[in-house]
Amino acid sequence: MTAPIGSGPGRALIAVYGLFSLAAGARAGVQIAMRFGEAPLAYSLSAFAAAVYILLTVALWRGARRLALAALGVELAGVLIVGTLSLLDPAAFPDATVWSGYGQGYLFIPLVLPLVGLYWLLRRR
């Protein structure tokens, strides 16, 4: 029998996703409250990213493997789609999101994190 997904290195994933939940959520909250009219798409996407990070934190902590896998897929798709669109059409993103430029503003961690998470969950199968 394998250990729960939230044990060992899985705890580090939970901690990082918890931190990103706070960072992305706080950023989106301030942006939406103060300047939503300037870049509604970007700020809404940051709020969506924060919601995905919260979902992942809880799913990993509770050991909800299928939910975590689905959320990791949504996160990876979001990073790839938003990252590509933000580079192809910068005018559509007058302000950065968490996933802009593949997470460039967050040291590309948003691009690497779902890959690490998928590796961890699929390796534990």
Q: Compute the radius of gyration of the chain from its Cα atoms.
A: 15
Cα 12 to Cα 28: distance, rounded to the nearest angstrom: 24
Q: Which of 62, 63, 55 is nearest to 114 (CA)?
A: 55
Decide: pTM greater than 0.85: yes
SS3 97: coil
Confidence class for position 87, pLDDT limits 50, 70, 90: very high
SS3 125: coil
Query: What is the pLDDT at residue 1?
Result: 44
Digit-coded pLDDT (tens) for 16-52: 999 999 999 999 999 999 999 999 999 999 999 999 9
Digit-coded pLDDT (tens) for 52-70: 999 999 999 999 999 999 9
